[in-house]
Amino acid sequence: MSERDVARALREHGEELASAAAAQVGDAFTWPPADAFLKSSANAFLLGVLFTQGLPAERAWAGPYLLSERLGHLDLDRLANEPEAVRAAFATAPALHRFVQTLPRWVSSAARRLLDDYEGDAAGIWPSGAHVLDVTERLLAFDGIGQKKAAMAVELLVRHFGVQLAGIDCGTVAYDVHVRRVFLRTGLIDKDTPDEVRRAAARVCPEAPGLIDLPTWLIGRETCRPKRPACERCRLGEVCPRHVDRDAPGVGVRRATS
Ligand code: SF4
């Protein structure tokens, strides 16, 4: 186990995330009416993300368009407050999705969140200039959106819709609670400061430090939890020295003062 092994595992994870997202980009938009609908409405795109599970990509991304055809609208207020109508639209043969019980719930829940948190406009989730990690976190707050869908959505927003996000292929790693924890426990840093994190990223992944940003953050959020890290199911489980105590206050590290 060495720093080089940790870096290799993080790079491989980053490349997998990027190529999975790129594959979705290539397959996603093949039906012009559905494509035009998605391009015309950030809300349609957000709902489309919910569909991308258990279906071929082209069928999934046609979902919002077909749902609006069946309902006669894609009005958020009605999607949130008329769950029976949404459920019926999904269930009418041929069903709009394999998961005819789950998808309507996710759609109504997403509509409610868009109304409550984003003034009814999903574009508020990914304003121009926002950092990819912030956008990812906002997407993960929606029922039915996990890491894979969030990463794919970000990739599509940038590559297909031209949304300008910071950090997608930037030259560094964003310092945050998850990233710093993983860097400490994997031994990539022994001093806890933003500069140390950025320097370590540039050292272990000099060709593209930003590549290890998202995988590190995802590992920190999912397995390298502050208490009881799940090393046995962690992507880095076989290469990480597991310095779990390094994240304990006052133990072995100097903390950032700003
Ligand atoms: S969960 Fe365990 S193996 Fe994974 S990064 Fe954290 S300490 Fe290392």
Domain total of the chain: 2
Which residue among 224, 238, 239, 247 has the greatest number of ligand 1 atoms within 8 angstroms of its CB, and so is best to mutate?
224
* Of 61-65, 109-113, 201-205, highest mean pLDDT: 109-113
What is the pLDDT at residue 253? 44
pLDDT at residue 53 is higher than 60: yes
The protein residue whose alpha carbon is closest to atom 2 in ligand 1 is 231
- Residues 42 and 135 placed together within one structural domain of the fold: yes
Question: pTM above the 0.85 mark?
Answer: no
Distance, in Å, from the CA atom of 143 to the CA atom of 111, rounded to the nearest integer, reads 11
Residues 98 and 182 in one domain: no
Mean pLDDT value across residues 3-15: 92
Nearest CA to ligand 1 atom 7: 242
* Distance from residue 199's CA to the centre of ligand 1 (Å): 20
Same domain, 140 and 180: no
Euclidean distance between CA atoms 86 and 67, whole angstroms = 8
One domain for residues 35 and 124: yes
CATH number at residue 73: 1.10.340.30
Q: Which atom of ligand 1 is nearest to the CA of 242?
A: 7
Does pLDDT of 83 surpass 50? yes
Rounded Cα distance, 45 and 68, in Å: 12
| pLDDT for the residue numbered 251 | 43
Whether residue 94 is preceded by a cis peptide bond, meaning omega within 30 degrees of 0, is: yes
Verify that 51 and 138 share a domain, yes or no.
Answer: yes
Decide if 122 is inside a domain: yes
Domain housing 147 = 31-159
Q: Is the pLDDT of residue 63 over 90?
A: yes
Q: 141 and 203: one domain?
A: no
CB 43 within 8 A of CB 114: yes
How is residue 247 written in tokens?
A: 């994240």
Least confident of 20-29, 152-161, 218-227: 20-29
How many whole angstroms from 113 Cα to the centroid of ligand 1?
Answer: 33
Which of 131-135, 136-140, 185-189, 254-258 is least confident?
254-258
Best residue among 189, 219, 227 to mutate for probing ligand 1, ranked by most atoms within 8 Å of CB: 219
Give the position, in ligand 1's atom list, of the atom nearest the Cα of 229. 1
The answer to whether residue 210 scores a pLDDT higher than 80 is no
**Ligand 1 nearest-atom number relative to CA 241:** 8
Statement to judge: residues 39 and 129 lie in one domain: yes
Query: Which among 135, 159, 183 is the end of a domain?
Result: 159
The Cα–Cα gap between 48 and 67 comes to 10
Q: Please report the atom of ligand 1 found closest to the CA of residue 185.
A: 7
Euclidean distance between CA atoms 35 and 31, whole angstroms = 6
pLDDT at res. 158: 80
> What is the C-alpha separation between 86 and 203, in angstroms, rounded?
51
For 125-147, the three-class secondary structure string (H helix, E strand, C coil) is HCCCCCEHHHHHHHHHCCCCCCH
The single-letter DSSP state of residue 63 is H
Q: Which of 10, 183, 240 to mutate to test the pocket of ligand 1 (most atoms within 8 A of CB)?
A: 240
The mean pLDDT value for 209-231 works out to 88
* pLDDT at residue 221 in the model: 87
Q: Which residues line ligand 1 (CB under 6 A)?
A: 182, 185-186, 219, 223-224, 229-231, 234, 236-237, 240, 242, 244
Of 140, 159, 178, the residue that ends a domain is 159
Whether residues 153 and 50 share a domain: the answer is yes
